[in-house]
Structure formats: C-alpha cells, structure tokens
Structure 1
Amino acid sequence: MADNTAKEENKIAQIVQVEPKRKWVSYIWDTFDKSPEERRFLFKLDAAILTFASLGYFIKYLDQININNAFVSGMKEDLGLYKNQLNYMQACWTVGYVIGEIPSNIMLTKIRPQYWIPSMEVIWAVLTFSLCRCTSAKQIYVLRFFIGLAESTFYPGMQYIIGSWYRKDELAKRSCIFHTSSALGTMFSGYLMAGVYKLDGIHGYKGWQWLFIVDGIISLPVALAGYFVLPDLPEISKPFYLSKEEVLLGQKRMQLEGRKPRAPYTMTRIKKIFSSWHIYMLTLLYVTFNNGGMGSQPVFQQYLKSHKNPKYTITQINTYPTITSAVQVITTLIYAWTSDSIFKGRRWPAILFGASVNIFCSASLAVWDIPEGLRWAAYILAGCGGGLSGLCMAWAHEICSDDNEERAIVVGSMNEMAYVLQAWLPLIVWQQVEAPRYHKGFTTVSSTSGLLICTALGTRYLHGREVENK
C-alpha cells in the first residue's frame, strides 16, 4: 500500500512542475504549456467550476440588477414607489447579504461546499419567484432581505473554492472570468426586461412581474446542477469526473503553491488571523473597490429616464446601459490576462488603472455641466473600474496561502465589509430623489477610488516586505 502511494506521488511529481516554464502560448491560455495530464485535469476543472460559478453568479447578478430594471419598467408606478423605496429595497438585500457572508465561509471550511452552496441557490430561486406576487414595498423589503441572506453564500464561497484549486499563473484569469459573469448578468437583465416587457398583461401579470418569473425559471436548473458538478476542495474531493490520480494532482498543485488544506480552528489561529495586517488591508482594498464605482446604482438608466429631448423608450432605457457592462467584460478579461502573464502575477497595476478611470468618470459627472458626449463617455467608461474584483480576490488568495482558515475568513470579510458600507452609504449619497444628478454619489466615487489607489500601493509594500522576511 505504501509502495503504491509512493509510486502515485512520484508520477504526480513528474506531471506538475514547481515553477512552470512559460512559453509564448501560455500568454494565450495558461494550460497550453503544461503536461497533457495536467492540461486534461484543468480542462475538467474549468468545465465544472467555471461553468457553475459563472452561471451562478450570472443569475445572482441578474436578480440583483433586475430590481432596478423592474423599478424603471412599471413597478414604480404600479406600487406607488415615489420616495426612496428603491434605496430601502437595495438596503434590505444588502443587510441580508452582509449577515450571511462570514458565517457561510466558515461553514465551507467545515461542511461540503457541494451541498451548502447549491442549497442556498435553490432557496433564492424560490424567493425570486415570489417577488412577482408582491403588492407593497414592505413585502419586497422582507423578500429582498432573505434573498440577500441566501445569495451571501455564493460569491465569497466560489472565490474560496477557486482559490483552493488554481495556481498563481491561473488564478486571476479564473477569478476574473467568474466575475465577468456579473457584467453579463447586468447586460442580459437589460435585454431580458426589454423582451419580457412585451409579455405585459399576459395571464394578468405586468411586464416587471414577468421579469421575476423568468429570472426564477433561469435560476432553478443552475442551482440543481451544483449538486453534481461542484468538486468541493482538493482534500475532500470525490467528483465523478475526476480520477483518484487527478484529485492527488490537485492536492500536489496546492502544496507547491503553499496553499494549506483545511484544519481545525484554534484560539492561537484566530488570534493570528486578527493580529495580521492581511485581514485589515485586504478588506479595505475590497471595500474601496466595491464602493468606488457606480455599477450598483441605475445612474445611467435614471439619466435616460429623466431625459426630455429626445425622450427615450423603455427598451432604450434598459438596453443602452448594457454598453457599460460590455466595457466591463472586455476590460476585466484584459486585466486578467495581463496580470497573470505580462505582469507575472502582479495585481496592483490593473487596480491602479481601473481606479484612475473611475476618478475621471465620476469627477466628470460630479461637475455635470459638461458636453453631452463627455457625459455619455463617462457613463460608458465607468465599466473600466468594475472588473477589479477577481484581481483583489486572487491577491488575497496568494497573500493568505499558508492558512486555509485565514483565507476563508479574509475572503468573506472582504466581501462582507464591502456590503456593510453599501448597506447604508447609498441611502445618503445615491438618494433616488436626487436622480439623475447624483452630485454626492459621484463625488464619493471619486474619493473612494483615490483611497483604493493608496490601499493597493500599501498592500503591495506590506506584502513585498513580508516575502523578503520569509
């Protein structure tokens, strides 16, 4: 038995390299210069993890953005939402999301992600269906809270799983491809609303109600697929599509990265996590990214809805802002490829660039009295700052590689604290009654993006010093 184990380990050692040699083809896709066995393993892993992660995040963002599209497509008038009810709906979702994140990620270090994440998806799909029957703002507040609570498992949980399988030269691309699906969800939501609006009146449902029905229909099959395709973590993985040797290969790859497997929580470990700069700087990095953009607010839609000459149609109001999402998709992929290859795993250059574009766009809109072409350019180019999430998460996985529980808590903390701020900040700076000239909101984005630049440089310095001292 011991001889067989030794033979398997020797075979795995021949397949995977400590420091992969880079050929030019790896700049196109990182598996092209790996061994056939590792390439086959990564193909299976990508097909399972990235497909499920991207589809799941797509429907999560579809749900998150659909409340905005439904609002500007008849829900506001039908339910009499003429004050700040939209802000409160978003805040209720955020509160639920914030409460659930860190507990959920801790659960992922103790139970099987293959069961936990899909179960939460099924719950939020059912609750999304229920939104179509709401007749008051209070009913929507309650449902949005529980939808946020269920959705809190997905993004930090899937980022944790991605960070448990991929190496440094692969990580940013997967994290960013995963995050790109949020922009695709935003784009599709606009087209979906434009399409289902034509169903207005069928079977007694308004167009905005059909949006939630179709959203739920899309969500449920994806959630159920998760029970079969999620590979769990390398040390407990037994999916039907990976052989025993391939599971060992996954474990060996993480050993070479110094990424530790699951271990019990102890007081010593907890004290170490909360006495390190990691959790504080990385959380601030993600907080400033997540609140340093205008993507979560329907600023472009509100501007188009308020425009008098020319007056835009419902279809135009829902589809024109998808251009911003398209910009986010393109720039996210550029950031991922350049970060993994050209910048050799350095995450901070793309973060500085995206934050700088954010400052330009938001500062221009804060001035407001600018040429119409510049205003449209600012709304559209704002997408350049929306694709940095995957880079921030990849950076966190690398910095926290030597402690699995720290990595889970830090990733959860990053996302949770970002939404803690998002739970109340929009109520102050993105008030619906100030649309479309959100001067406080645009000014806040400029300031927060400036802080993001400072935090990224500070994280670079601290991590560099830590590596030198090892």
Structure 2
Amino acid sequence: MSKEIEPTVQDYDGTNSPAPRKPQRTWKSYVWDSLDKSPEERRFLFKLDLGLVTFSCLGYFIKFLDQSNLNNAFVSGMKEDLSMLGNQYNYATTLWTVGYILGEIPSNILLTKIRPSIFIPSCQIVWTVLTMCLARVNTVHQLYALRFLIGLAEAGFFPGILYMFGSWYGKDEIAKRSCIFHVTGAIATMFSGYLMTAVIGLGGKGGLKGWQWLFIMDGIISLPIAFASFFMLPDFPHNTRAWYLNESDVTLSKKRMELVGRAQRQPYTKAKVLKIFTRWHIWVLPLMTMQVFGGGAGGVGQPIFAFYLKAHKNPKYTVAQINDYPTTTSAVQVFATLLYAYISDGPLNGARWPVMLFSATLSVVFWISLAIWNISEGWRWACYILVGQVLALVPLTLTWANEICSDDNEERALVVAAINDWQYIIGAWLPLIIWQQTDAPRYKKGMPTAVVFSFIVIGLILIIKSLADRDQKKKQNARYQLETGLSHSSPDSEVAGESK
C-alpha cells in the first residue's frame, strides 16, 4: 500500500509550502461547487464567472446564431430566391467547414502567444460583419465565398474558450462551466428559429426579403457583445489584466492551477513537439469526435428534422412551424448537457466516462429507430427531438481532454483544437455522401452510418478510460518513488517516461 504524500505547491519566492486542503464536501457543492469553498475563493470565482463564463456564453451565442442562420434562411425563401439546386446547400455548409478547419489549430496555437482579450473579440467583429454581408448575396457563388470566410473567422472561438477554461478552473468546476458555455449554442439555434419567424414579417421593408433581414438582425445583436468582450475576457492567470480581478485574485488563481497540476506556458521546442506527438493523447482523443456523425452532423448540424417537416404533405407544415418545431431538439440538448455536467462534477466526483457512455448508448437506440423508418409517428418525432442529447458529449470530451493533458500547457491547447478540428475535417466531406439534401428526409445512407459511429464511440470511451487510468497509475508510482527515495529518477526523467 502506497503511503499518501502530503501535497505541496511552490510559493513565488521559490520555497515549498503545504497546499491548501479542500474542505470536506457537503450537499451545497452539488448545487454549485463554490459553496463549499472559502469566502475568498467564492468571491474570486464569482467575479471570474461573471467575466469569463458570461462573455464566453454570449460570444458562443452570437457565433452559433451567425452559424445556424443559414438553415433557417434556406427553408424560409433563400433556396428559391438564389435558385439553389441539388446539393448546393450542402456545398455552402461544407465551405464554411473548410474555412473552420483551416483556421482552428493555428488559432489555438496563436492563443498561447496572443492575448485572448484581443484575438477573440477581433474574430467576433470580422465574422459578424461578414454575416451581415450575406443579406446582399445575389448568387450562390457569393454565398459560398462568404460562408468560407465566416468559418475561417469563427474557427478559433470554441476551442480557444475551452482552452481558457482549462487555464482557470479546477476538476470540480470545469465541466459545469464548459457545458453551460456549450448549451448557449443550442439556445442560439432555437433563438435563430424564433427570430426567423419574427422577421419574416419584415419582408419587403427596405427592399429586403425576410431571410435577408435575419442576417441583418444577427449582426445588430452580435456587434455590441463583440466590442464588450475586449474589456471582459480575462486572458490567462499569468498575464491577466482584467479590471475586475485584484492582485489577491491573481495570486489565488495561480496557486489553484498549481494545485491541480496545470502546467504554465513554455516555448515550443523540438523536444516538446516530439513529446506531444509520441503520446497517445493527440492521436486517440480526437477520434472521440466521431460522435458528431451520430449526433451533430445528423441530428443538429444537418437540419434533418426541418427537412422532414418541409417534405411532409399531410398535414403540410407552415414556414413558422418548420422553423419552430426543430428547436425542441436544441432544448433537449440544453437540458441533457447541463444534467450530464452536474452528474459528472457532482455525484461522480469528476468522472466523465459514465455519463458519456450513457449518452452514446441512448443515441444508438434513436438512430436505429430512425434507420428502420417504419415506426410510429410519435416515436419518430421523439427520436428527432431526443437525439439532441448526444451533443452533450462535445463539452464533456473537451473537459476530459483538458484534464488528461493538464501537465503540458501547449499539448492541452493543441489537443483541444485538434479534437474540435477533426470533427469538422470529417464533417467537411461525410455529409456530402451520407446526408445529401436530395436523400431527405429518409437518408438511407445517413441513418445506418450514424448507428455504426455511435457503436464506435462507445468502444472509444472505454479505450480512453483504460489509457488514462494507466497513465495516472504511472504518475502516482513515479511520484511515490521520488518522494520516498526508492528511485533515483528526477522529475525530468519522470516527464520523459510519461512521453514514451
């Protein structure tokens, strides 16, 4: 039996002192994690949440609002006005994806060198202006060009914010905040449908159609949030200049990250790059994003529910119903994401894999039902709506990656970006094959493929858990040997051993 080692952190004068002990957990922490912490830490987290979480959520809201509006515009008159034929809708979404892919990893690498409070709001302003330009497109080729540029501008936001969360929050805090951040995208998707219903009546005013007014209104909502983000995003603990954090808050934030083992910034050296690419993290964790083919690319990213309603003849649904009813899928995503986060942070004490396994198993049931197709109408609607719960896997996967890679800041930034990038790399071409608009609403290739990918995700969750447990045991053994003098290995050799 290994002896428990007293944890220490390094003070800023170079000496070691005992790390602050966590108070014993009470029921209050299951309501919100900071309720069990010291008054000083509660005040710090309250201010950090107001700045970082609030404006991350607002930023993700406008990102998804500007991203998902194409779906609503397409089924509300854009298709006819631009004479979009065949799979041209798929091409427009694919070009957005290509731009997103090209920009994502470079953006997250830049965030290790440039202040997020400058880089991220600048990107927000660019994609907002480009979104407003969509109101004046006259041809599908103009649409293609703008969607590519919007994807390029939006690329750094989502993985960048998750990287920032991993730089500020501990294991009992990060999943809830990551999931709250993530569900604002679903809320934006819902809002976009309601906004389309509201602005359709503006059609004809100012010489613009209703769908054109949607892009204008998106920009009016987005620009103030983008400008405010320059003043509210706090950068990182080592270089923050946030006006709402005092010197005591900054010192506390640094000690908190030392306590949970989050490494500080280091230069990209040949040894570091070699270490990153010889560990399993960069190769295995991005594969988890295959869940997007069982969830995102089929259930939400591709508007299969809206296309089903548009193709339905008896009864025939109105434009408002086609935009409004699919928002229930996003509502389920919001509820499931928050529920899984609370269960993971709370009763499961930071374990991510059990709720992820549960979510992936549910998705198998829903996709098998839709693949069968000849099911009751009530159950079909239930499957279209409930399949949204699988998107809760996205923030949980990124949370898990933040924790697994916590001992290397640059690896964490690269892996988080790679996870998000890989889903879009595959999403750039797979929907053109299995989710073709011309196959709607039955999608004879898409539904069965989603079933297969859902089973693969279940296997990947179990593999990642096994690998992470193995690494954790190696770290514990190496630390025990170092502290007890049973090994002559140094911290440097321990790190080298972990990279093998």
Query: How many Å apart are 1:82 and its aligned residue?
Result: 2.2
Matched, 1:318 2:323: yes
- Taking a change above 3 Å as real, the CA distance of residues 6 and 152 of structure 1, as seen in their structure-2 partners, is closer
One-letter amino acid of the counterpart of residue 314, structure 2:
N
Q: Separation in 1 of the partners of 2:12 and 2:151?
A: 48
One-letter amino acid of the counterpart of residue 165, structure 1:
W
Matching residue of 2:221: 218
- Of 233, 256, 280, 2:259 maps to 256
Query: How many Å apart are 1:227 and its aligned residue?
Result: 0.5
Number of aligned residue pairs: give it.
462
Query: How many Å apart are 1:304 and its aligned residue?
Result: 0.5
- Of 160, 164, 175, 2:163 maps to 160
Query: How many Å apart are 1:206 and its aligned residue?
Result: 0.4
Q: Separation in 2 of the partners of 1:50 and 1:292?
A: 28
One-letter amino acid of the counterpart of residue 292, structure 1:
G
Does the 8 Å CA contact 2:66/2:128 hold for their aligned counterparts?
no
Query: How many Å apart are 1:444 and its aligned residue?
Result: 1.6
User: What secondary structure is seen at the aligned counterpart in 2 of 1:451?
Assistant: helix
Matching residue of 2:212: 209
Matched, 1:337 2:342: yes
Q: Separation in 2 of the partners of 1:205 and 1:72?
A: 16
Q: Separation in 2 of the partners of 1:218 and 1:174?
A: 23
Matching residue of 1:232: 235
Does the 8 Å CA contact 1:357/1:381 hold for their aligned counterparts?
no
- Of 358, 381, 385, 1:380 maps to 385
Deviations 1:102-127 (A, max 9, x none): 10000000111110111011000000
Does the 8 Å CA contact 1:121/1:223 hold for their aligned counterparts?
yes
Matching residue of 2:293: 291
- TM-score, structure 2 length as denominator? 0.90
- Taking a change above 3 Å as real, the CA distance of residues 19 and 279 of structure 1, as seen in their structure-2 partners, is farther
User: What secondary structure is seen at the aligned counterpart in 2 of 1:168?
Assistant: coil
Structure 1 outlier segments of 4+, above 3 Å = 5-10, 16-20
What 5-or-longer segments of structure 1 have no aligned partner? Answer: none
Does the 8 Å CA contact 2:58/2:184 hold for their aligned counterparts?
yes
Does the 8 Å CA contact 1:18/1:256 hold for their aligned counterparts?
no
1:25-424 equivalences under 5 Å are 25-285=28-288, 287-293=289-295, 294-424=299-429
Deviations 1:331-361 (A, max 9, x none): 1111000000111111011111111121111
Query: How many Å apart are 1:7 and its aligned residue?
Result: 10
Q: Separation in 1 of the partners of 2:58 and 2:81?
A: 31
Does the 8 Å CA contact 2:294/2:367 hold for their aligned counterparts?
no
Query: How many Å apart are 1:100 and its aligned residue?
Result: 0.4
Q: Separation in 1 of the partners of 2:469 and 2:22?
A: 19
Q: Percent identity?
A: 56
Matching residue of 1:446: 451
- Shifted more, 382-391 versus 234-243: the winner is 382-391
Q: Separation in 2 of the partners of 1:132 and 1:222?
A: 20
Q: Separation in 1 of the partners of 2:191 and 2:23?
A: 38
Does the 8 Å CA contact 1:304/1:312 hold for their aligned counterparts?
yes
Does the 8 Å CA contact 1:8/1:245 hold for their aligned counterparts?
no
- Taking a change above 3 Å as real, the CA distance of residues 83 and 461 of structure 1, as seen in their structure-2 partners, is same
Q: Separation in 1 of the partners of 2:318 and 2:23?
A: 54
User: What secondary structure is seen at the aligned counterpart in 2 of 1:343?
Assistant: coil
Does the 8 Å CA contact 1:364/1:378 hold for their aligned counterparts?
yes
Aligned CA-pair RMSD: 1.6
One-letter amino acid of the counterpart of residue 349, structure 2:
K
Does the 8 Å CA contact 1:170/1:340 hold for their aligned counterparts?
yes
- Taking a change above 3 Å as real, the CA distance of residues 275 and 9 of structure 1, as seen in their structure-2 partners, is closer
Considering only CA atoms, is the larger Rg found in Structure 1 or Structure 2? 2
